[in-house]
Amino acid sequence: MTTDLSQYDEKNMPGADVLNHQRYAIIMADWNSDITSAMARGAMDTLVKQGVLTDHILIEHVPGTVELTYAAARMMREQSVNAIIVIGCVIQGETPHFQYVCQSVTEGVTMLNVQGRVPVVFSVLTTLNRQQALDRAGGKLGNKGVEGAVTAMKMANL
């Protein structure tokens, strides 16, 4: 059983002959940008490595994680894409704000997926501290942006 898609089997991925005709969107929250940028780079590099053309990858920035849902919904309406990857990082603080942000984005992405237009892949870190986020943005636990790209390609080609 695979628990870390950062180390994916390329033989089980859609071929470049399919992927180079597809379009993907990466929507990245700028809050905790050192972490989300590393995740977005991982997603972009993975898409390109598998055969998605660079000019077929749309990248949008939003201020924070809550705004990912709006941007994804708008992207679905205004762009022709095969999948959307939303990338954010919420680190728990001393107030309940963490729970509200996490709940909002989780429910928003779920609602978009239920609509079934295109898959919206949840690459949002919800960690207890900064080190946990770094470990998941290219650190010892892989890169969740890479995992988001792998998931997006698989879901776009069900």
35-56 burial by CB neighbour count: b if 16+ within 10 A, else e? bbbbbbbbbbebbeebbbeeeb
For residue 114, give the amino acid letter: V
Q: Average pLDDT, stretch 120-129?
A: 96
In order of start, what are the domains of the chain with their CATH numbers?
Answer: 30-156 (3.40.50.960)
pLDDT in tens, 32-79: 999 999 999 999 999 999 999 999 999 999 999 999 999 999 999 999
The whole-angstrom distance between residue 106's C-alpha and the CA centroid of its chain comes to 13
pLDDT in tens, 66-124: 999 999 999 999 999 999 999 999 999 888 787 888 888 999 999 999 998 899 999 99
97 is catalytic: yes
| Residue 130 token pair | 């900064």
3-state secondary structure of 13: coil
51: alpha, beta or left, given left = phi > 0 and alpha = psi -120 to 50?
left
Share of the chain residues as helix, strand and coil, in percent rounded to the nearest 5: 50, 20, 25
Q: pLDDT, tens digit, for every residue of 5-37?
A: 656 777 787 777 888 899 999 999 999 999 999
Does the pLDDT at position 1 exceed 50?
no
For residue 4, what pLDDT band results from cuts at 50, 70 and 90? low
Question: Can you give the pLDDT at residue 11?
Answer: 76
> Which residue is catalytic, options 21, 56, 61, 97?
97
pTM of the model: 0.93
Helix (H), strand (E) at residue 9: none
Contact 72, 131 (CB under 8 A): no
